[in-house]
Structure 1
Amino acid sequence: MEQVIANAGSIASGARESDTLEGWQHGGKWFCYGDHAIFSRMAGQGEPLVLIHGFPTASWDWSRVWPMLTQQHNVLTLDMLGFGFSDKPTDYVYSIEDQADLFQGWLEGLGLSSVHFLVHDYGCSVVQELLAREQEGALPFRIGSVCFLNGALFPEVHSPLLIQKLLSSPMGGLISRGLTRRSFERNFRRLFGSQNPPDRKDLDDFWYLLTYNNGRGILHRLIHFMEERRCHRHRWVGAVQRARQPMRLISGTADPVSGAAMSRRYRELVENADVVSLRNVGHYPHFECPWDVFSAYRDFRKRIIRP
């Protein structure tokens, strides 16, 4: 099944309801993961819906769709270790499996027996690991459904930007520490569709989150996830193919990294693939066209409960 939304809605439909970055931070809470502080946010009521952000950003990515989702769900999110307002240790071995441990422990600690996931980019890989654990009987809660947004579910069709390749190279440490605001903006803008590019305030916020607590110094450590995706392809792709819960892919097809080619591969490898394509939308559909993403997600959840 595939739906195509040709004219993505303006960011104004969701953006003006969102909080400022300062307000987003003040509305959160911290908890400990080992010796490290993790920033989290929770709001709304109903069935638990867990949002997982991508690289190299943070939970702030969800701010524009957050007010809509919290009207219908108990929404939970956090900044993964090394991202956003969470701690960013310099001598840490970051991995998808460790981030999955973080989410598993957090949700188990909250006493949740069942959750739904709406995930983006790096977060897609985290949920692929959690799906694999559930299928092995190693997860203490049930995954009710999964909705993916522009993630490298299939590494063979992932097209990283040059800056990402450099960060993952032997020169990664130098590239990470030497990243300038100008270079960041030039590469970050490339990820967006032509209709709703980030404005100056957006770029200020994303740069602040990236550099908060010496974040530039660990980018080369975080980006190891690209190699993890290749190493664990059989496990993580298999987890998606074996999944029995409802799944949907919402794809911004103008994404140069994991857009149209990724959605085509999804339709090839996932039985009865449910895909919503957003034309003229890039890598951050939930930030570029929050109303369209919310509408597609609302339709997905309604379809799940329809008799």
Structure 2
Amino acid sequence: MNWREYQARQRVVELGHRFISYVDEGRGAPLVLLHGIPTWGFLWSGLLPALSMTHRVLIPDLLGYGYSDRREGFDRSIARQAEALDAWMDRLGVGDAAVVGHDIGGGIAQHLAIRFPRRVSRLCLMNSVSYDAWPLELMVQLGHPGVVRRLSAPSLQRLLKVVLKRKPFATAPPGGLVDGLLAPYGTEVGKTSLVRNAVALDTNQTQELVPRLPHMAVPTRVVWGVDDDILPVKWGERLAWEIPGAKLVRVEHAKHFLMWDQPHAVMTALYELLGTEERPQLEGTEHRDVEVPSLQGPLI
């Protein structure tokens, strides 16, 4: 599906003075998918059809991202995002869910699992921010106050397209994907909101979780594209070492956006974590044969 078709599936729920746009499809045990920066829920559109055949798939746009609330005057940090998602799940009547987080979504998922453990039945961290390994220099520059004044929305969008088309993918992304991932940020409102999101990136909010990682008590997979040069696999190895019982899944021939580079390998890892016996096949994606070993503990 293209990004407009995906957006047409979104619903909206109000949380006080803010609102979250989200997709809610399928039946079964709840599965929450969290995106990173500078994307939105459309990141997961390739996996949605298959996952929604076995689970109730919930994909929110984080506050300030995609088509959720992008107005001024609120905290967009990963700690605040976790609090907002706790309230969002409460509004939807979802007691707990398997939570999958990519990029800063992985940092938010860590906050959920540690601070709101009742919400997380299973946890998957995909090429996740952690420790002091982030943010990417580009995101630091994007958060500079002068960006809002110097760059128009189309100029910023063109810049991000150049970066996204070459850096986070192992192979050329499907046509229209990058345009779709950046679609919400092509207006001045979207641009300003994205800059505010970048300003809110704070490595202290993952560093403060480090002493609590060894006390997590949730079945966990750490799934990593091993060719990622944005968040190298050594950080995934460390997470798998420190989280009790966590298993590391190395995805070969994949970079940061591993769910697009190797969707079948990612789905296999998710099915194993979720204990899914019925495993619907992905449609419309090229199958790349790749070994996906699940490994216990560190590789260093």
Tell me which interval the TM-score lies in, with the shorter structure as reference length: 0.7 to 0.9
- In the aligned structure 2, how far is the partner of 1:174 from the partner of 1:280? 39
Correspondence for 1:30:
12
Q: Does 1:39 align with 2:12?
A: no
**Cα distance in 1, alignment partners of residues 27 and 187 from structure 2:** 31
Distance in structure 1 (CA, Å) of the matches to 2:253 and 2:221: 19
* Cα distance in 2, alignment partners of residues 120 and 142 from structure 1: 18
> How much has 1:81 moved relative to structure 2?
1.4
Give the aligned partner of residue 228 of structure 2. Answer: 255
Post-superposition offset of 1:259: 2.9
Gaps of 5+ in 2: 278-300
CA gap 1:231/1:111 in 2 versus in 1, 3 angstroms: closer
Who is 1:95 aligned against? Answer: 77
| Residue type of the alignment partner of 1:223 | A
CA distance in 2, matches of 1:261, 1:84: 30
Matches of 1:91 and 1:176, distance apart in 2: 22
Distance in 1 (CA, whole Å) between partners of 2:185 and 2:266 is 24
Q: Which has the higher contact order (CA 8 A, sep 6+)?
A: 1
2:119 and 2:170 mapped to 1: Cα distance? 39
Contact 1:88/1:215 (8 A) holds in 2: yes
CA distance 1:194–1:131, shift in 2 (3 Å): closer
Q: Is the 8 A contact 2:25 2:56 kept in 1?
A: yes
1:220 corresponds to 2:195: yes
Contact preservation (8 Å) 1:45, 1:72: yes
Which of 107, 121, 146 is the equivalent residue of 2:103? 121
Partner of 1:145: 122
Partner of 2:282: none
- The correspondence for 1:183, drawn from 144, 155, 159, is 159
Distance 1:176 1:115 in 2: 40
Find the counterpart in structure 1 of residue 207 from structure 2.
Answer: 233
Q: 1:102 and 1:212 mapped to 2: Cα distance?
A: 25
Aligned AA for 2:258? P
Q: In structure 1, what is the equivalent of residue 215 of structure 2? A: 242
1:1-40 equivalences under 5 Å are 19-40=1-22
State the 1:257 CA deviation.
1.4
Q: Which moved more, 1:114-123 or 1:126-135?
A: 126-135
Post-superposition offset of 1:49: 0.8
Residues 134/177 of structure 1: CA separation in 2 closer, same or farther (3 Å cut): same
Q: What secondary structure, in the 3-state scheme, does the structure 2 residue paired with 1:222 have? A: helix
Instruction: Return the letter of the residue paired with 1:146.
Output: L
Q: Structure 2 matches for 1:165-180, cutoff 5 A?
A: 165-169=140-144, 171-174=146-149, 177=152, 179-180=155-156
With normalisation by structure 2, the TM-score equals: 0.83
CA RMSD of aligned residues (A): 2.4
Identity of matched residues, %: 23
Query: For residues 64 and 303 of structure 1, do their structure 2 counterparts lie closer, same or farther at Cα, with a shift above 3 Å needed?
Result: closer
- Give the 3-state SS of the residue equivalent to 1:180 in structure 2: helix
Residue 293 (structure 1) shift = 0.9
Give the 3-state SS of the residue equivalent to 1:106 in structure 2.
Answer: helix
Look up the match of 1:288: 261
Quick check: 1:97–1:126 contact (8 Å CA) kept in 2? yes
**How far did 1:267 drift?**
3.8
CA distance in 2, matches of 1:207, 1:232: 26
Aligned to 2:178: 203
Q: What letter is aligned with 2:37? A: F
CA contact (8 A) 2:18 2:69 kept: yes
TM-score, normalised relative to structure 1: 0.81
